[in-house]
């Protein structure tokens, strides 16, 4: 149960985080809806998104995914290896062009 419990707690932590709130606020305000003020801003002050917030959320999400996959499938998975392969393929594609 540790994998499920850890994954659930991790996802709760992310969903309640100030970092996710600021990323979602930027998305709602400037990308998805072109608003002058979001519902979040009407309720409370929202911290502006800072450089690197998206990457930190992504990395935290990867840890949760790996934990849950291990619990469900009964074996581990490393998404880091997949990312390395993708980066290598991307560099090869850029060099080819």
∠ Cα 59 64 70 (to 5°): 125
What are 46-72's pLDDT values in tens digits? 898 899 999 999 888 888 888 888 888
By the 8 A CB rule, do 26 and 42 touch? no
Cβ neighbours, 10 Å, residue 71? 15
* Rounded Cα distance, 97 and 93, in Å: 6
What's the pLDDT at 8? 65
Please, are residues 22 and 48 in contact by the beta-carbon 8 Å criterion? yes
Q: Which pTM does this prediction carry?
A: 0.66
**pLDDT for residue 53:** 92
């Amino acid at each position: 149960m540790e994998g499920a419990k850890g994954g659930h707690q991790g996802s709760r932590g992310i969903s309640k985080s100030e970092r996710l709130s600021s990323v979602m606020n930027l998305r709602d305000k400037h990308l998805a809806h072109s608003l002058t003020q979001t519902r979040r801003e009407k309720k409370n002050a929202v911290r502006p998104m800072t450089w690197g917030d998206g990457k930190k959320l992504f990395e935290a999400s990867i840890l949760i995914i790996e934990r849950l996959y291990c619990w469900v499938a009964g074996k581990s998975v490393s998404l880091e290896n997949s990312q390395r392969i993708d980066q290598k393929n991307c560099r090869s594609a850029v060099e080819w062009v």
